[in-house]
Amino acid sequence: MKTKFKLLFVALIGAVSFASAQATEECVTTMSIFSEHAKVKNYDAAYEPFMKLRKDCPTTSFALYQYGERILKDKIEKSSGAEQKAFLTDLQKMYQEKKTHFASKTNEGEDISELALVMYENKIGTTEEQYEMFKKAWETDKASFRNAKGLYVFFNHAVSLQEAGKIELQEVFDLYDGVQGHITEIQNNYATDMEKILEKNEAGTALTPQEKQLEKAAEVNLSNYSKVSAGVNGMLGKLADCDRLIPFYQADFEAKKNDVAWVRGAAGRLVSKECTDSELFVSLVEQLNTLEPSAQTSYYLGRLAEQRGENAKALEYYEESAERQTDPAEKAKVYYRLGENFRDKGNYPRARTYYQKAVASQPSMGIVYLRIASMYVSSANNCGNTRFEKLAVYWLAAETAAKAGRIDPSLADTANKTAASYRASAPTREMIFSEGNAGQRINFTCWIGGGVTVPSL
């Protein structure tokens, strides 16, 4: 009896294994058919095997969900009414299936924001419903909510809903801070990649194929996020000028002056919109310094001292703020302010030091390169023993100015025009021929330091 039971058990195991092998073979065959159609964008033909794979072979390949997303988006675009909503619901279901079977490869913020964007692009649901879907993506997994267009639409919806009286102005302000901070982090990552590429270009080192791809990706994304950032700033401008901000915060000051988060946010908003010459700003800073002395408070005190003409005191506060600051973007802001301060005083070496610290903290802060380039030009007559050497400074200035546009595409037009004007002032081909120094290195012994290689004829 035991022998018969063992034989039956072995037979059952064999049957299961055989069935499993058959299922696997069928899955591979169906996946092959599905992939062939999907690769050439024949989504109608790919739909049936796609649905079969989801049901019977959901773990066959991650490509099932990558192509499946395109298939369902195509179905949504080509349908309407109840059928369109059904495909949208199925897309949401597919994202959940992907999370179940390929959790390590799933980014919830990206998927949910894609759903919201599909709703927006196909006019599915109200502005409020679309906004809530974007908000869900933001609150669930902000780190992977990186779609530039999605971020723009999300904030645009917030502004529209606030103007319609459906959300509070403070919610828009909070979202603005979050979105701009998120964009800055993304830009900094791409700017760091670009900085490495530029260093290799300046050294005359050929880029590898991978580095060329990295350069292209950095250029495209820096440009896209720069446009989104500018667009978000423009939308906020309608809501947050000084004439509206000051009464908005003044009305709540007495009631909320002991709320540290509120005071900190109000002071920060007035600084960001250059509303610092108001009595309200003074009150906010003094109150914040009482409630929570911090790096931020020191920065605000520096702004107040600067407005009063107390420059030495302002510098002390700024230095204190920079030393205490832990947030890279805020640290960069303080260093930039210090750089501006010393540039205005004509102390170019110290100004450059702070500008360099600013861009080290925030690699996407391209404006510092324009500032440094302008200081080089202002010092040209004091750098070099001959006219040729003095004019050679313009080559370095042009290189530096051009870098601003590569790091921050929003400055590209200004940076390129500035670089072109500097090159026009550099030594001519005739001067290079006359000097006979094409390809030679010219080093600057003034505060600028470094040097440039004379272009070859």
Can you give the pLDDT at residue 25? 84
At 332, the amino acid letter reads A
Predicted local confidence at residue 24, as pLDDT: 81
Q: What is the pLDDT of residues 357-380, one digit of tens each?
A: 999 999 999 999 999 999 999 999
- DSSP assignment of 277-322, as one string? TSHHHHHHHHHHHHH---HHHHHHHHHHHHHTT-HHHHHHHHHHHH
Domain 107-200+217-239 class in CATH: mainly alpha
Report d(CA 152, CA 232) in Å as an integer: 7
What's the distance, Cα to Cα, between the start and end of the chain in Å?
98
- pLDDT tens figures, 303-336: 999 889 998 899 999 999 999 999 999 999 999 9
Express each pLDDT in 411-449 by its tens digit: 999 999 999 999 999 999 999 999 999 999 999 989 999
Instruction: Kindly report, residue by residue over 148-172, the tens digit of the pLDDT.
Output: 999 999 999 999 999 999 999 999 9
Beta strands in 314-434 (DSSP E): none
pLDDT digits (tens, 9 = 90+) for 231-261: 999 998 878 889 889 999 999 999 999 999 9
Tokens of 236: 């906020």
Read off the pLDDT of residues 81-115 as tens digits, 9 standing for 90 and up: 999 999 999 999 999 999 999 999 999 999 999 99
Q: What's the token pair of residue 366?
A: 């391209």
- Residue 421 makes CB contacts below 8 A (sequence gap 6+) with none
pLDDT beyond 60 at 191? yes
Domain-wise residue ranges, the chain = 29-106, 107-200+217-239, 366-457
Neighbours of 74 (CB within 10 A): 16
Residue 21 pLDDT greater than 90, yes or no: no
